[in-house]
């Protein structure tokens, strides 16, 4: 069961120098809970970071705020210190966003929103959540005063960070940080949180490739070599370019439209098994593919007969267009390989 030990809400108005703290009424707690659930469990697109310096503004404030709450017996009766520290975190974000907005105004605008902070205790584990969430601005019809509101249905989280915490002799120790960012904005991790990636793109690509291929070997290869090599080729092709990979989308693209040639293959079971790895922490669910990893693991050698071996680069976009297999009425098994190299073709071609 999740227990919210402390929470705060600040509106971020880039036209102002300081964030505006808002009292959180009891009926707004459902919003806070939804933001927390998105950041901790529902969001499947994230990267893992670590804290290189525990004395930076945000990390220092998180540690001190959490330690104060723990000293109060996890029941905050004096909000003086937690309020001061959560104010400092909100001020840091607003200051960074004002700088970014000035620098990037000719290209784009910083997404407007509010910052939600929460210290939670769940299954004996402490976590601190920071979420930049959507709000909308509106003006009072009579006074024309600017007000802030939150959407009733679609509660968007622009960015979030979930900081694992451990308590040792009253001291708070930072663990890994799970970060979600709906854009490529580097200021969220580099300038605001001041954390560094735990996994490189190379490590992420290696781990995803290894996990998916291992599951394909376990669930597909023994039933159908054709389906195994088809899916493995599609995986390598998807990871071959230096592009952003969204792991759930990657698995969806592999299986959504694919129809196994062997009906005994339960593609939905394979898909569920692969998606379950998203929460395992062995790789980030969003990363740039490293093509060097794919290239190193993409060649497969096939024995054709006693005199011929076939080496295939498993990166081709359309495997069946390049290599076809036929069984002739005579009983012979024949491979037909498309050839675009003139010398190779002439070496085997004989005019009738």
In tens, the pLDDT along 131-166 reads 998 876 655 556 656 555 555 555 688 899 999 999
Q: Which of 39-53, 201-215, 240-254, 336-350 has the highest mean pLDDT?
A: 201-215
Question: Does 186 share its domain with 232?
Answer: no
Question: Does 205 share its domain with 143?
Answer: no
Per residue in 162-216, pLDDT (tens digit) is 999 998 877 899 998 999 988 767 899 999 999 998 888 999 999 999 999 999 9
Question: Which is more confident, 9 or 143?
Answer: 9
- Sign, Cα dihedral of 279, 280, 284, 286: negative
Using DSSP, how many helices (H) and how many strands (E) does the chain show? 11, 16
Using alpha carbons, list the distances in angstroms from residue 139 to 133, 147, 268.
Answer: 20, 6, 50
pTM of this prediction?
A: 0.69
Residue 206 DSSP label: H
Question: Does 37 share its domain with 51?
Answer: yes
In the numeric block, which tokens belong to residue 337? 């390989």
Question: Does 290 share its domain with 159?
Answer: no
DSSP letters for 239-276: HSSS-EEEHHHHHHHHHSS---SSTT--HHHHHHHHHG
The pLDDT, as a whole number, for residue 206 is 92
Residue 75 has pLDDT above 90, yes or no: yes
* Domain assignment present for 138: yes
The pLDDT, as a whole number, for residue 146 is 56
Which domain, by its residues, includes 149?
2-197
Query: How many structural domains does the chain have?
Result: 2
Q: Which of 197, 225, 257 corresponds to the end of one domain?
A: 197
Question: Which is more confident, 40 or 45?
Answer: 40
Q: Which of 165, 197, 229 corresponds to the end of one domain?
A: 197
Question: Does 134 share its domain with 53?
Answer: yes
Q: What is the 3-state secondary structure (H, E, C) of 316-327?
A: CCCHHHHEEEEE
* Domain assignment present for 181: yes
Q: What mean pLDDT is predicted for residues 2-21?
A: 92
* Domain assignment present for 185: yes
DSSP letters for 94-145: HHHHHHHHHHHTTT--PPPEEEEEEEEEETTEEEEEEEEEE-EEEE-TTT--
Question: Does 177 share its domain with 214?
Answer: no
Using alpha carbons, list the distances in angstroms from residue 252 to 237, 265, 311, 317.
Answer: 15, 16, 29, 17
Question: Does 120 share its domain with 238?
Answer: no
């Amino acid at each position: 069961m999740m227990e919210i030990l402390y929470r705060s809400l600040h509106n971020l108005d880039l036209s102002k120098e300081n964030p505006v703290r808002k009292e959180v009424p009891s009926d707004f707690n459902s919003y806070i809970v939804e933001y927390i659930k998105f950041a901790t469990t529902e969001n499947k697109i994230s990267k893992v970071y670590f804290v290189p310096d525990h004395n930076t503004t945000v990390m220092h404030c998180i540690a001190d705020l959490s330690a104060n709450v723990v000293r109060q017996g996890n029941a905050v009766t004096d909000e003086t210190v937690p309020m001061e520290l959560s104010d400092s975190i909100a001020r840091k974000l607003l200051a960074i966003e004002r700088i970014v907005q000035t620098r990037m105004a000719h290209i784009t605008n910083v997404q407007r929103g509010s910052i939600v902070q929460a210290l939670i205790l769940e299954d004996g584990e402490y976590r601190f959540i920071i979420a930049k969430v959507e709000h909308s601005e509106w003006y009072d019809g009579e006074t024309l005063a600017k007000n802030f509101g939150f959407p009733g249905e679609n509660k968007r989280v622009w960015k979030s960070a979930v900081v694992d915490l451990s308590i040792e002799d009253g001291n708070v120790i930072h663990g890994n940080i799970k970060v979600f960012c709906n854009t490529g904005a580097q200021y969220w991790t580099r300038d605001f949180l001041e954390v560094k990636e735990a996994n490189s793109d190379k490590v992420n690509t290696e781990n995803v490739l290894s996990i998916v291929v291992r599951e394909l070997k376990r669930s597909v290869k023994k039933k159908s070599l054709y389906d195994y090599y088809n899916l493995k080729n599609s995986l390598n092709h998807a990871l071959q370019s230096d592009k952003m990979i969204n792991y759930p989308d990657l698995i969806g693209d592999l299986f959504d439209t694919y129809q196994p040639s062997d009906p005994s293959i339960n593609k939905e079971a394979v898909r569920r098994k692969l998606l379950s790895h998203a929460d395992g922490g062995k790789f980030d669910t969003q990363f740039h593919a490293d093509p060097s990893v794919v290239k190193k693991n993409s060649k497969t050698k096939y024995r054709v007969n006693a005199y011929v071996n076939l080496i295939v680069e498993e990166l081709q976009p359309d495997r069946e267009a390049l290599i076809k297999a036929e069984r002739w009425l005579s009983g012979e098994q024949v491979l037909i390989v498309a050839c675009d190299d003139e010398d190779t073709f002439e070496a085997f071609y004989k005019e009738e």
